[in-house]
Amino acid sequence: MWNYSEKVMEHYRNPRNVGSIEDADAIGEAGSLSCGDMLKLYLKVDDKGIITDAKFQTFGCGSAVASSSILTEMIIGKHIDEARKITNKQIAEELGGLPPEKMHCSVMGHEALEAAIANYYHEEIKPHEEDETVCYCFDVSKSFLENEIKNNNLKTVEDVINYTKAGGGCGRCRGKISEILDSVNAVKKVEKLTKTQMIIKINNIIEKYISPELRKDGGDIELIDVDENKIKVKLSGRCQVCNRSQLTLTHFVEATLRQHIDENIEIIQVKND
Protein backbone atom coordinates (compact mmCIF):
# COMPACT_ATOMS: atom_id res chain seq x y z
CA MET A 1 0.00 0.00 0.00
CA TRP A 2 1.31 3.41 -0.93
CA ASN A 3 1.62 6.08 1.66
CA TYR A 4 -0.43 8.61 -0.28
CA SER A 5 -1.23 12.00 1.21
CA GLU A 6 -4.84 12.87 2.02
CA LYS A 7 -4.83 15.26 -0.88
CA VAL A 8 -3.65 12.66 -3.38
CA MET A 9 -6.42 10.33 -2.22
CA GLU A 10 -8.98 13.10 -2.38
CA HIS A 11 -7.96 13.86 -5.98
CA TYR A 12 -7.98 10.32 -7.34
CA ARG A 13 -11.29 9.69 -5.65
CA ASN A 14 -12.82 12.88 -6.97
CA PRO A 15 -10.73 14.02 -9.89
CA ARG A 16 -11.48 17.60 -11.01
CA ASN A 17 -11.83 18.71 -14.60
CA VAL A 18 -12.01 15.27 -16.20
CA GLY A 19 -12.77 15.16 -19.90
CA SER A 20 -11.87 16.84 -23.14
CA ILE A 21 -12.46 20.28 -24.65
CA GLU A 22 -13.96 20.12 -28.14
CA ASP A 23 -12.55 23.46 -29.35
CA ALA A 24 -9.39 23.46 -27.26
CA ASP A 25 -6.79 26.12 -27.99
CA ALA A 26 -4.01 23.79 -26.98
CA ILE A 27 -3.58 20.07 -26.39
CA GLY A 28 -0.60 18.43 -24.76
CA GLU A 29 0.20 14.76 -24.37
CA ALA A 30 2.72 12.82 -22.35
CA GLY A 31 3.40 9.14 -21.78
CA SER A 32 1.95 6.20 -23.70
CA LEU A 33 -0.25 3.16 -23.24
CA SER A 34 2.65 0.73 -23.46
CA CYS A 35 4.59 2.63 -20.81
CA GLY A 36 1.73 2.27 -18.37
CA ASP A 37 0.68 5.88 -18.04
CA MET A 38 -0.50 8.61 -20.32
CA LEU A 39 -1.96 12.07 -19.89
CA LYS A 40 -3.85 14.25 -22.34
CA LEU A 41 -4.29 17.87 -21.32
CA TYR A 42 -6.72 20.28 -23.03
CA LEU A 43 -6.54 24.07 -22.57
CA LYS A 44 -8.90 26.87 -23.39
CA VAL A 45 -7.01 30.18 -23.57
CA ASP A 46 -8.61 33.63 -23.99
CA ASP A 47 -7.24 36.47 -26.13
CA LYS A 48 -5.31 37.87 -23.20
CA GLY A 49 -3.49 34.58 -22.80
CA ILE A 50 -5.38 33.55 -19.67
CA ILE A 51 -6.16 29.85 -19.29
CA THR A 52 -9.91 29.90 -18.79
CA ASP A 53 -10.46 26.17 -18.75
CA ALA A 54 -8.40 23.00 -18.52
CA LYS A 55 -9.47 19.38 -18.77
CA PHE A 56 -7.58 16.13 -18.62
CA GLN A 57 -7.82 12.46 -19.44
CA THR A 58 -5.37 10.13 -17.75
CA PHE A 59 -4.44 6.51 -18.10
CA GLY A 60 -2.45 5.76 -14.99
CA CYS A 61 -2.29 5.06 -11.31
CA GLY A 62 -3.77 7.02 -8.40
CA SER A 63 -0.95 9.52 -8.23
CA ALA A 64 -1.03 10.06 -12.00
CA VAL A 65 -4.70 10.98 -11.85
CA ALA A 66 -4.14 13.15 -8.78
CA SER A 67 -1.22 14.95 -10.44
CA SER A 68 -3.31 15.63 -13.55
CA SER A 69 -6.29 16.76 -11.52
CA ILE A 70 -4.36 19.17 -9.33
CA LEU A 71 -2.48 20.50 -12.34
CA THR A 72 -5.71 21.63 -13.96
CA GLU A 73 -6.64 23.45 -10.76
CA MET A 74 -3.23 25.08 -10.61
CA ILE A 75 -3.33 26.49 -14.12
CA ILE A 76 -6.94 27.60 -14.55
CA GLY A 77 -7.01 31.39 -14.24
CA LYS A 78 -3.29 31.77 -14.83
CA HIS A 79 -1.68 33.47 -17.80
CA ILE A 80 -0.13 30.88 -20.06
CA ASP A 81 3.34 32.31 -19.45
CA GLU A 82 2.79 32.06 -15.71
CA ALA A 83 1.62 28.46 -16.10
CA ARG A 84 4.79 27.74 -18.00
CA LYS A 85 6.80 28.42 -14.85
CA ILE A 86 5.11 25.62 -12.92
CA THR A 87 7.55 22.81 -12.17
CA ASN A 88 6.89 19.16 -11.44
CA LYS A 89 8.13 19.82 -7.92
CA GLN A 90 5.32 22.33 -7.42
CA ILE A 91 2.76 19.79 -8.65
CA ALA A 92 4.04 17.27 -6.10
CA GLU A 93 4.15 19.87 -3.33
CA GLU A 94 0.62 21.00 -4.07
CA LEU A 95 -0.47 17.37 -3.54
CA GLY A 96 1.18 17.29 -0.15
CA GLY A 97 4.05 15.26 -1.56
CA LEU A 98 4.27 12.04 -3.53
CA PRO A 99 6.02 8.79 -2.62
CA PRO A 100 9.53 8.91 -4.19
CA GLU A 101 8.68 6.04 -6.55
CA LYS A 102 5.75 8.07 -7.86
CA MET A 103 7.52 11.34 -8.62
CA HIS A 104 7.42 10.44 -12.31
CA CYS A 105 3.68 11.11 -12.19
CA SER A 106 4.33 14.77 -11.42
CA VAL A 107 6.94 14.80 -14.17
CA MET A 108 4.35 13.47 -16.60
CA GLY A 109 1.97 16.27 -15.57
CA HIS A 110 4.67 18.83 -16.19
CA GLU A 111 5.57 17.24 -19.53
CA ALA A 112 1.97 17.41 -20.74
CA LEU A 113 1.72 21.05 -19.64
CA GLU A 114 4.90 21.90 -21.54
CA ALA A 115 3.59 20.12 -24.61
CA ALA A 116 0.27 21.98 -24.41
CA ILE A 117 1.94 25.36 -24.08
CA ALA A 118 4.31 24.58 -26.95
CA ASN A 119 1.25 23.59 -28.94
CA TYR A 120 -0.41 26.90 -28.04
CA TYR A 121 2.54 28.89 -29.33
CA HIS A 122 2.93 26.56 -32.31
CA GLU A 123 6.43 25.84 -31.16
CA GLU A 124 8.08 22.86 -32.59
CA ILE A 125 8.89 20.17 -30.18
CA LYS A 126 12.32 18.76 -30.88
CA PRO A 127 11.83 15.77 -33.14
CA HIS A 128 12.81 12.61 -31.45
CA GLU A 129 15.34 11.44 -34.03
CA GLU A 130 17.71 14.27 -33.21
CA ASP A 131 17.79 13.19 -29.64
CA GLU A 132 19.41 10.05 -28.32
CA THR A 133 17.05 7.50 -26.75
CA VAL A 134 18.50 6.27 -23.48
CA CYS A 135 15.72 4.08 -22.09
CA TYR A 136 13.95 1.99 -24.72
CA CYS A 137 11.49 0.42 -22.29
CA PHE A 138 9.90 3.78 -21.53
CA ASP A 139 11.20 5.73 -24.52
CA VAL A 140 13.10 8.37 -22.58
CA SER A 141 15.55 10.67 -24.35
CA LYS A 142 18.90 11.96 -23.21
CA SER A 143 17.95 15.63 -23.28
CA PHE A 144 14.82 14.94 -21.21
CA LEU A 145 16.91 13.10 -18.64
CA GLU A 146 19.48 15.90 -18.50
CA ASN A 147 16.72 18.42 -17.85
CA GLU A 148 15.05 16.40 -15.14
CA ILE A 149 18.37 15.68 -13.44
CA LYS A 150 19.14 19.40 -13.40
CA ASN A 151 15.68 20.63 -12.42
CA ASN A 152 15.08 18.11 -9.67
CA ASN A 153 18.65 17.87 -8.47
CA LEU A 154 18.70 14.11 -8.98
CA LYS A 155 21.73 12.36 -7.58
CA THR A 156 21.37 8.61 -8.06
CA VAL A 157 20.12 6.20 -10.69
CA GLU A 158 17.27 5.35 -8.32
CA ASP A 159 16.26 9.03 -8.24
CA VAL A 160 16.20 9.04 -12.03
CA ILE A 161 14.02 5.91 -12.12
CA ASN A 162 11.59 7.43 -9.61
CA TYR A 163 11.29 10.71 -11.47
CA THR A 164 11.45 9.64 -15.10
CA LYS A 165 10.90 5.85 -15.12
CA ALA A 166 14.04 5.56 -17.27
CA GLY A 167 15.99 2.50 -16.15
CA GLY A 168 12.97 1.01 -14.37
CA GLY A 169 12.23 -1.65 -16.99
CA CYS A 170 14.87 -4.10 -18.15
CA GLY A 171 17.55 -1.98 -16.49
CA ARG A 172 19.99 -2.19 -19.38
CA CYS A 173 20.36 1.60 -19.62
CA ARG A 174 21.28 2.11 -15.98
CA GLY A 175 24.99 2.39 -16.83
CA LYS A 176 24.18 5.06 -19.39
CA ILE A 177 21.98 6.90 -16.88
CA SER A 178 24.82 6.83 -14.40
CA GLU A 179 27.10 8.43 -17.01
CA ILE A 180 24.54 11.14 -17.73
CA LEU A 181 24.18 11.79 -14.00
CA ASP A 182 27.93 12.13 -13.67
CA SER A 183 28.26 14.51 -16.59
CA VAL A 184 25.31 16.73 -15.57
CA ASN A 185 26.36 16.84 -11.94
CA ALA A 186 30.03 17.39 -12.83
CA VAL A 187 29.14 20.48 -14.82
CA LYS A 188 27.10 21.70 -11.90
CA LYS A 189 30.02 21.20 -9.55
CA VAL A 190 32.24 23.48 -11.62
CA GLU A 191 29.51 26.08 -11.76
CA LYS A 192 29.16 26.04 -8.04
CA LEU A 193 32.82 26.45 -7.11
CA THR A 194 34.02 30.04 -6.73
CA LYS A 195 37.37 30.92 -8.18
CA THR A 196 39.02 30.84 -4.74
CA GLN A 197 37.51 27.43 -3.97
CA MET A 198 38.70 26.20 -7.32
CA ILE A 199 42.25 27.42 -6.68
CA ILE A 200 42.35 25.76 -3.28
CA LYS A 201 41.01 22.53 -4.73
CA ILE A 202 43.49 22.49 -7.61
CA ASN A 203 46.41 23.26 -5.32
CA ASN A 204 45.40 20.41 -3.07
CA ILE A 205 45.31 17.99 -5.95
CA ILE A 206 48.66 19.24 -7.24
CA GLU A 207 50.18 18.83 -3.79
CA LYS A 208 48.74 15.38 -3.27
CA TYR A 209 48.84 13.68 -6.63
CA ILE A 210 50.84 15.68 -9.17
CA SER A 211 53.89 17.32 -7.58
CA PRO A 212 55.18 14.17 -5.90
CA GLU A 213 55.39 12.43 -9.28
CA LEU A 214 57.09 15.35 -11.01
CA ARG A 215 59.55 15.78 -8.18
CA LYS A 216 60.70 12.24 -8.68
CA ASP A 217 62.05 13.39 -12.03
CA GLY A 218 63.50 16.57 -10.60
CA GLY A 219 60.75 18.88 -11.77
CA ASP A 220 57.62 20.52 -10.37
CA ILE A 221 54.51 22.46 -11.25
CA GLU A 222 52.93 25.70 -10.09
CA LEU A 223 49.38 26.97 -10.49
CA ILE A 224 49.35 30.43 -12.08
CA ASP A 225 45.70 31.26 -12.74
CA VAL A 226 42.23 29.81 -13.17
CA ASP A 227 39.79 31.08 -15.77
CA GLU A 228 36.63 28.93 -15.53
CA ASN A 229 37.76 25.56 -16.86
CA LYS A 230 41.06 26.86 -18.24
CA ILE A 231 43.85 26.25 -15.81
CA LYS A 232 47.18 27.98 -16.30
CA VAL A 233 50.22 26.26 -14.89
CA LYS A 234 53.95 26.70 -15.04
CA LEU A 235 56.39 23.84 -15.05
CA SER A 236 59.62 24.24 -13.15
CA GLY A 237 62.92 22.44 -12.59
CA ARG A 238 63.78 19.75 -15.11
CA CYS A 239 60.25 19.71 -16.48
CA GLN A 240 60.93 23.08 -18.08
CA VAL A 241 63.54 21.66 -20.35
CA CYS A 242 62.06 18.23 -20.83
CA ASN A 243 60.93 17.68 -24.42
CA ARG A 244 58.17 15.41 -23.24
CA SER A 245 56.63 18.02 -20.94
CA GLN A 246 53.61 18.49 -23.21
CA LEU A 247 52.79 14.80 -22.86
CA THR A 248 53.15 15.06 -19.09
CA LEU A 249 50.74 17.98 -19.09
CA THR A 250 47.95 16.32 -21.09
CA HIS A 251 48.34 12.68 -20.11
CA PHE A 252 49.09 13.19 -16.47
CA VAL A 253 48.32 16.69 -15.15
CA GLU A 254 45.18 17.32 -17.17
CA ALA A 255 43.94 13.76 -16.76
CA THR A 256 44.41 13.88 -13.00
CA LEU A 257 42.59 17.20 -12.64
CA ARG A 258 39.78 16.02 -14.91
CA GLN A 259 39.39 12.92 -12.85
CA HIS A 260 39.12 14.85 -9.60
CA ILE A 261 37.32 18.02 -10.63
CA ASP A 262 35.70 18.12 -14.04
CA GLU A 263 35.87 16.42 -17.43
CA ASN A 264 36.12 19.73 -19.24
CA ILE A 265 39.25 21.05 -17.62
CA GLU A 266 41.89 22.37 -20.00
CA ILE A 267 45.50 22.90 -19.09
CA ILE A 268 47.37 25.85 -20.50
CA GLN A 269 51.09 26.00 -20.06
CA VAL A 270 52.63 29.37 -19.18
CA LYS A 271 56.24 29.58 -20.15
CA ASN A 272 58.94 31.71 -18.59
CA ASP A 273 59.48 34.91 -20.49
Candidate list 24, 43, 65, 83; residue touching another protein; CB under 8 A = 65
* Segment near another protein (CB under 8 A); pick from 52-60, 78-86, 117-125, 244-252: 52-60
Catalytic residue of the set 105, 135, 173, 239: 105
| Closest to another protein by CB, 59 or 252 | 59
Candidate list 24, 26, 28, 40; residue touching another protein; CB under 8 A = 40
Sign of CA pseudo-dihedral 88, 39, 117, 66 = negative
Cβ at position 37, least distance to another protein in Å: 7
Pairing mode of beta strands 230-237, 266-269: parallel
Is 170 among the catalytic positions? no
Note the helical H segments in 47-86. 62-75, 80-83
- Beta strands (DSSP E) in the chain are 26-32, 37-45, 51-59, 133-135, 140-141, 219-227, 230-237, 266-269
Is 242 among the catalytic positions? no
Bridge partners for 56 per DSSP:
18, 41
What x/- string results for residues 168 through 197 when contact with another protein is judged by CB under 8 A?
A: xxx---------------------------
Candidate list 34, 194, 196, 243; residue touching another protein; CB under 8 A = 34
Kindly tell me the burial class for residue 39, based on how many C-beta atoms sit within 10 Å of its own C-beta (0-12, 13-18, 19 or more).
buried
21 near another protein (CB under 8 A): no
- Per the document, the length of the chain is 273
* Segment near another protein (CB under 8 A); pick from 126-134, 147-155, 162-170, 184-192: 162-170
Are 217 and 166 within 8 A, CB to CB? no
Nearest in space to 253 (alpha carbons), one of 238, 241, 268 = 268
Candidate list 138, 181, 226, 267; residue touching another protein; CB under 8 A = 138
| Angstrom distance (rounded) from CA 190 to CA 266 | 13
Looking at residues 239 to 268 of the shown chain, list those that interact with another protein (rule: CB under 8 A): none
Q: Which residues are catalytic?
A: 35, 105
Binding site for another protein (CB under 8 A): 9, 12-13, 15, 18-20, 29, 33-34, 36-40, 57-62, 64-65, 101, 137-138, 161, 165, 168-170
